[in-house]
Structure 1
Amino acid sequence: MQRSRIALFVLSALVGSVALTGCDQAAEQSQASAPKAVPVGVITVKSQALTLKKELPGRISAFQIAEIRPQVSGIVQSRLFVEGNEVKQGQALYQIDPATFEADLAASEASVARAEASIASSKSKASRYKELLKIKAVSQQDFDEADAAYKQANAELLTAKAQLKSAQINLDYSHVSSPISGQISKSSVTVGALVSANQSTALATVTQLDPIYIDLTQSSNELTQLKKAISSGALTVDSASQTDVELIMEDGSIYPHKGTLQFSEVTVDPSTGSVTLRAKFSNPEKLLLPGMYARASIVEGVKAGAILAPQRGVSRNSKGEPTAMVVSKDNTVESRVLKVDRTIGSDWLVTDGLSDGDKLIVEGLQKIRPGAPVNPSEIQSSAKADQAQ
């Protein structure tokens, strides 16, 4: 009897031990089958007011260009400038042989003197005949002829004075001067060359390089979208900053002087579908030369509530759409399809798909999938790191 009780006790202990072992194994299997939270690095995106800029290509063009051509014909006596030097407005550049023009001027002066003498004689005669006509000492016809001679002498004087002025102008034109200040090119003629009035070949060219223009091109579609954004209130415009232009040189360096936007064309070039914008820059060091290629950064406006997402946190799906992984409220991965406008530095400007406060996953993307639990930890964005430095 005693042995039976002992055997029953041992059997019960064994059964209980087996049951506990089974429960522990089931719990371990359950824990093993549950997915573990993957540690990921996130950046909390925040909306901000952002000044949007646009880079446009352009070509440098001179502020003023004057092609020097003679306005009278003759032999070039002397060249009065050094090729490549700066010249001032009104400075003499060439001297054309003035002998013929001086002779014409002297002849015109003589004609004026003769006409003035003729006036004195005809005026005196007309005055006498007027008095004699009152007493019937001369006929009406004689008086009319004397009066007509006086008026004709006046007309001849006016003609002589006009010829004198023309002769003086031609003499002045024999001194070929610069109409503007600037840098002069090489001369196309030498001393002794015969030049003609208004010839097609310029004697030289004067180019004003300070200030200087840059003609920028912008597609008509971009301009239309920009105007729509401004009219809808998506962009606000600061008239003071919108006229500021920053120039990027061919080697990528920033030009030391800022320019101002002058105007925009009102027509679209049908061959390129673009419009031209002109900006003016000071050019004291003569770094900018006509014909050079450059890029300019202009301010489009200020976008309120802009969302920037690091490029490393944005990928493309099979359709080519930009996508991002964000952490949901229950710490699981959620995939978002984004709409992006442009790149700004190392970030995308996101117009749809992200909101202020979203936690964007930027590290550990290879280890996660939508719906997977994650353990997010905030990391410092590159923009914040740059500001901290």
Structure 2
Amino acid sequence: MKPILAGLAACLLLSACSAADAPAEQQPIPVKTVTVASAAVPNVIELPGRVEPVRAAEVRARVTGIVQERLYEEGTDVRAGQPLFRIDPRELRASYAQTQAALASAQATAANAKAVVERYRPLVDENAISGQEYDAALAASREAEANVAQIRAQLESASLQLGYTTVRAPIAGRAGRAQITEGALVSQPEGTLMTRIEQISPVYVSFAQAASEVLRLRRAIAAGEIDLDENDRVEVRLTFSDGTEYPIPGYIDFLAFSVDQQTGTVELRAEFPNPQRLLLPGEFVRAQIYAGEIQDGLTVPQRAVSLTEEGGTVFVVDSEGLAAIRPIQLGAMVDGNWIVEGGLRPGDVVITSNLQKIRPGVPVKVSNTPTGQNKPAKAPAQTDRGAQ
């Protein structure tokens, strides 16, 4: 009896050990997903750009003299014609007075010559004087009148020179730092730079696109692969260097019809309203150009994408219900969605939650409605520039 009981105990022990060594079946991880669907998505081109003023003027000396006073506050807005500097006017004022006196003398001489002609005219008819004397008097009168006209022009020039001693703003805009100080000698022949004025509301943002990309874009528009808006306007949005977005969109207003031979690029320019002076000339920004819409485009939510040096990766649910990693090529981000340029197809199921717990080959359980699909990214609403 004892051998039988011993054998039974051994069998029970071996069965218990086998049960302990068998791995437990892994439970599926609950996840939320989106089903990739093709739809019209914005054709977004990202380029670096630089902010430029719409108008800029250099204020230079138009007369030679000593600067007496600066009449504006540096870094403030000035109106067209506003006085900016005062140059010592005394020398030019004396020159103006001298020319004015010369004009008065010439006018007196011209009046006397004209009176002589008037006296000689009846005497010629009576043969009291010769015709030669009358002709000489008439010539002297005309010469005197010409001298008056010449000196009057000199007086007008002297008046202009005197007026230039008050240096005024040629355009309205933001006046920069003064390049000279009181007591400095400025020169008219050298055109001494005194300050700069820039108009920064609105502003331009200029950028360059590779000529091959511009050609590809034009061909796609001609083939109907990219649809522009009804006004054929191309909208542009900006992002600052700190990642924040500029709230007001702009529009392309210039496209060069020649290619830079050194860089192989085509120059583009957009105009932006700048009511709060957030965009500063010389600042570098990131521009997103919305060049129409691409038919049959694909997008995925930002939260589903892990960024890599080559682009990005997502987890998809394969045919066996397991998680699989998929590298993808990313385009621009629009309204919280990445535009996918490669790596996904319509119908792929992309995981959007519990990404920290998922590893390739892990079983997953879709917890959201199976029919849920990712909403396609929408192009920004076209805004009337005049409403900004």
Which TM-score applies when normalising by structure 2?
A: 0.71
Aligned to 2:49: 58
Question: Would the alpha carbon gap of residues 359 and 148 (structure 1) be closer, same or farther in structure 2, given more than 3 Å must change?
Answer: same
Percent identity, aligned pairs only, is 36
- DSSP-derived class of the 1:290 partner: coil
Q: Superposed, which structure 2 residues align to 1:143-182 within 5 Å?
A: 143-182=134-173
Q: Which has the larger radius of gyration?
A: 1
Task: Report whether the alignment pairs 1:228 with 2:219.
Answer: yes
2:205 maps to which of 214, 223, 236: 214
In the TM superposition, what is the alpha-carbon distance from 1:248 to its structure 2 partner?
Answer: 0.8
Q: Does the Cα contact within 8 Å between 2:174 and 2:198 map onto a contact in 1? A: yes
Runs of 4+ in 1 over 6 A off after TM superposition: 40-43, 309-314, 324-328
Q: Secondary structure at the match of 1:242?
A: coil
Provide the rounded CA distance (Å) in 2 between the counterparts of 1:41 and 1:177.
67
Match of 2:65 in 1: 74
Aligned to 2:122: 131
Answer with 164-173 or 253-262: which moved more: 253-262
Indicate if the aligned counterparts of 2:300 and 2:374 stay in contact, CA closer than 8 A: no
Distance 1:265 1:115, change over 3 A: same
Q: Is the 8 A contact 2:79 2:169 kept in 1?
A: yes
Secondary structure of 1:229's partner?
helix
Corresponding residue of 1:29? none
Distance apart, 1:215 and its partner CA: 0.8
What code does the residue aligned with 1:359 have?
A: G
Task: Please name the residue that 1:28 is paired with.
Answer: none
1:105 paired residue among 96, 107, 113: 96
- Across the two proteins, how many residue pairs are aligned to each other? 326
2:348 to 351, 356, 360: 360
Q: What is the alpha-carbon distance in structure 1 between the residues aligned to residue 360 and residue 101 of structure 2?
A: 102
Q: Indicate which of 174, 178, 186 corresponds to 1:195.
A: 186
Contact conserved, 2:56 with 2:196, CA < 8 A, in 1?
A: yes
Q: Aligned-pair distance for 1:347? A: 5.0
Higher helix share: 1
Report if aligned partners of 2:62, 2:191 keep a CA contact under 8 Å in 1: no
Q: What's the RMSD between the two structures over aligned residues?
A: 3.9
Distance 2:42 2:199 in 1: 34
Residue 289 of structure 1 is matched in structure 2 by 280
Q: In the alignment, is the contact (CA less than 8 A) between 1:43 and 1:359 conserved in 2? A: no
TM-aligned CA deviation for residue 283 of structure 1: 2.1
CA distance in structure 1 between the partners assigned to 2:184 and 2:332 by the alignment: 61
Give the match for residue 117 of structure 1: 108
Structure 2 partner of 1:304:
295
* Unpaired segments ≥5 residues, structure 1: 1-39, 315-321, 332-338, 369-376, 385-389
The aligned amino acid for 1:262 is D
TM-score, length of structure 1 as denominator length = 0.71
2:246: which partner in 1?
255
Deviation of 1:226 after TM superposition, in Å, equals 0.5
Letter in 1 for 2:186: V
Separation in 2, partners of 1:78, 1:347: 58
Unmatched 5+ residue regions in structure 2? Answer: 1-30, 306-312, 321-327, 352-357, 363-368, 377-388
